[in-house]
Amino acid sequence: MSKRKLALNGGVPLITESFPRYNPIGREELDAAHAVIESGRLSDFLGSWGPGFFGGEQVKAFEEAWASHFGVEHAVSMNSNTSGLVAALGAVGLSPGDEVIVSPWTMSATATAILVWNAIPVFADIEEETFNLGPASIERNVTEQTRAILVTDIFGHPAEYDEIGRIAEKHGLAVIEDAAQAPGASYKGRPAGTLADIGVFSLNFHKHIHTGEGGVCVTNDLKLAERLQLIRNHGEAVVEAKGELDISNIIGFNFRLTEVQAAIGIEQLKKLDRIVAAKSLAATRLSDRLNHLGGLRTPIVKEDCIHSFYGYPFLVDDQVIGVPRDRIVEALRAEGLLAAGGYCNLHLLPMYQQRIAYGTGGFPWTSECYQGNVSYDKGICPVAERLHERDYMTVGWALYKNTDEQVDLTADVFEKIWDHLDELRAPN
pLDDT tens digit sequence for 331-381: 999 999 999 999 999 999 999 999 999 999 999 999 999 999 999 999 999
Q: Where are the domains of the chain?
A: 7-24+272-343+384-425, 27-271
Q: CB burial class (10 A; 0-12, 13-18, 19+) of residue 222?
A: exposed
Same fold, 7-24+272-343+384-425 and 27-271: no
Going by C-alpha positions, the residue among 292, 298, 295, 301 that lies closest to residue 313 is 298
Question: Do the Cβ atoms of 47 and 238 come closer than 8 Å?
Answer: yes
Whole-angstrom distance, CA of residue 379 vs CA of residue 391: 16
Q: Which of 128-132, 211-215, 372-376, 422-426 has the lowest mean pLDDT?
A: 422-426
Whole-angstrom distance, CA of residue 392 vs CA of residue 128: 10
Model confidence pTM above 0.85: yes
Where does 7-24+272-343+384-425 sit in CATH, by number?
A: 3.90.1150.10
pLDDT in tens, 180-236: 999 999 999 999 999 999 999 999 999 999 999 999 999 999 999 999 999 999 999
Alpha helices in 54-100 (DSSP H): 57-70, 81-91
Whole-angstrom distance, CA of residue 45 vs CA of residue 230: 12
pLDDT of residue 235: 97
Where does 27-271 sit in CATH, by number?
A: 3.40.640.10
pLDDT of residue 428: 59
Whole-angstrom distance, CA of residue 275 vs CA of residue 208: 7
Sign of CA dihedral 198, 204, 209, 211: positive
Whether the predicted pLDDT of 2 surpasses 60? no
